[in-house]
Amino acid sequence: MHYIGLYIEFIKLKIMGVAEYRKSFLLGALAQAAAYGAEFLLIWVLVDKFQSVHGWGSYEVMFLYALNLASYALAGFFLFTPCTQLSFMIKNGSFDEILTRPLNSFLYLISKEFNSAYISHLLLSIFIIFICFHQLGIALTFVKWMGLLVCLLGGALIQGAGFVATSVPAFWFVETQGLRNIFFFQLRNFIRYPVSAYNKFVQIVLTLLLPYAFINFYPSQFFLEKSDFMMFSPSFQYGCPFVGLLLFGLSYWFWNVGINHYKSTGS
């Protein structure tokens, strides 16, 4: 509870900071929205030209990308800065300072460093989600509204687990940018398109080993009323929140293991 109060204080400070540089913040948000808007447009152009990818039409593929981007933005909002800065903080010794505080280091870092730039990703992708629902003629019932909320939070937990799990090795090796690039950013690129379009090996990896498919591919089948489950059970469409909680729990446990192992670089 104590942390929520702290978090609100930090958010206030950040908003004051943003208000100070309003123009730069707005231009930045617009530029990022333009870059991601371009990606949505290209997905639409491409899939529309070929009519479908493995049975998924252009708005369905855009929906996949929108779920991916929205949950990434939710996770990035809290975790991007602390996770990408962790190696730097270990290198220059400022992480040691955090350990001396009478607070949970993980929660303290998250509340201290949130990244407001993700607002533009989030707004853009939510806008696209509604366009897709509209174009596909799918009615947004109460159940689907709630489902969307749960799925975005669950997806954010999976993405957050990806952020944390690829940062914790910094307690052993200091530098983790390459790891994060491969296991989080590059491999996650596969879920921009329906996972069923890839070969079996990729399908299994994305479902069981690095379950990024639960961020968008499986839940989308619930929202878009599809049944494209490859060799897996249709119940996977409800898996997103459970996988999210499990993975985030595991990554938090991993964080604690890392902290216990951590020996300062001495700088």
Partner 1 sequence: MDLYLEFFKKTFQERYVYRFDFYISIVAGFISLSVQLSIWTALYHNHASINSITLPDMLKYIVVSTFVTVITASGVGRKIAERVSSGAIVSDLIKPVNFKYYLLAEDLGNNLFQLLFVFIPTFLIAVLVYGVSLTVEPFAFVCFLFSLTIGIFISFHINYILGLLAFWLHTSWYLSFVLAAFNELFSGSFVPLWFYPKWLYAISSWLPFKLVYFDPISIYIGKQTLDGTIKIIGLQFVWLLILLAIERIMWTRAQHKLIIHGG
Q: Spell out the residues 6+ positions from residue 95 whose beta carbon is closer than 8 angstroms to its own.
A: 86, 89, 264
CB 99 within 8 A of CB 171: no
Q: Is residue 46 near partner 1 by the rule CB under 8 A?
A: yes
CA gap 173, 187 in Å, rounded: 21
Q: Is residue 57 near partner 1 by the rule CB under 8 A?
A: no
Among 7, 39, 81, 229, binds partner 1 (CB under 8 A): 39
Closest CA to 81 of 59, 49, 110, 108: 110
Phi then psi dihedrals of residue 56, to 5 deg: -105, 125
Least distance (Å) from partner 1 to the CB of residue 61? 10
Least distance (Å) from partner 1 to the CB of residue 96? 25
Among 4, 8, 38, 149, binds partner 1 (CB under 8 A): 38
Q: Among the candidate windows 6-14, 72-80, 86-94, 184-192, which touches partner 1 by CB under 8 A?
A: 184-192
Nearest CB to partner 1, comparing residues 174 and 250: 174
CB 230 within 8 A of CB 101: no
Least distance (Å) from partner 1 to the CB of residue 121? 11
**Can you name the residues that pair with 53 across neighbouring β-strands?**
56
Torsion angle (degrees, nearest 10) of CA 163, 165, 168, 169: -120
Classify 264 as helix, strand or coil: coil
Residue 66's identity, in one-letter code, is A
Q: Is residue 199 near partner 1 by the rule CB under 8 A?
A: yes
* Residues across the chain: 267
Site string for partner 1, 8-27 (x = CB under 8 A): -------------x--x--x
Nearest CB to partner 1, comparing residues 8 and 27: 27
Among 2, 16, 50, 263, binds partner 1 (CB under 8 A): 50
CA gap 50, 176 in Å, rounded: 39
Q: Is residue 80 near partner 1 by the rule CB under 8 A?
A: no
Least distance (Å) from partner 1 to the CB of residue 188? 10
Q: Number of residues in contact with partner 1, rule: CB under 8 A?
A: 35
Q: Is residue 246 near partner 1 by the rule CB under 8 A?
A: no
Q: Is residue 245 near partner 1 by the rule CB under 8 A?
A: no
Sign of CA dihedral 53, 154, 131, 43: negative
Residue 49 DSSP label: H
Footprint on this chain of partner 1 (rule: CB under 8 A):
21, 24, 27-28, 30-32, 34-35, 37-39, 41-42, 45-47, 49-50, 53-54, 178-179, 181-182, 186-187, 189-190, 192-193, 197-199, 202
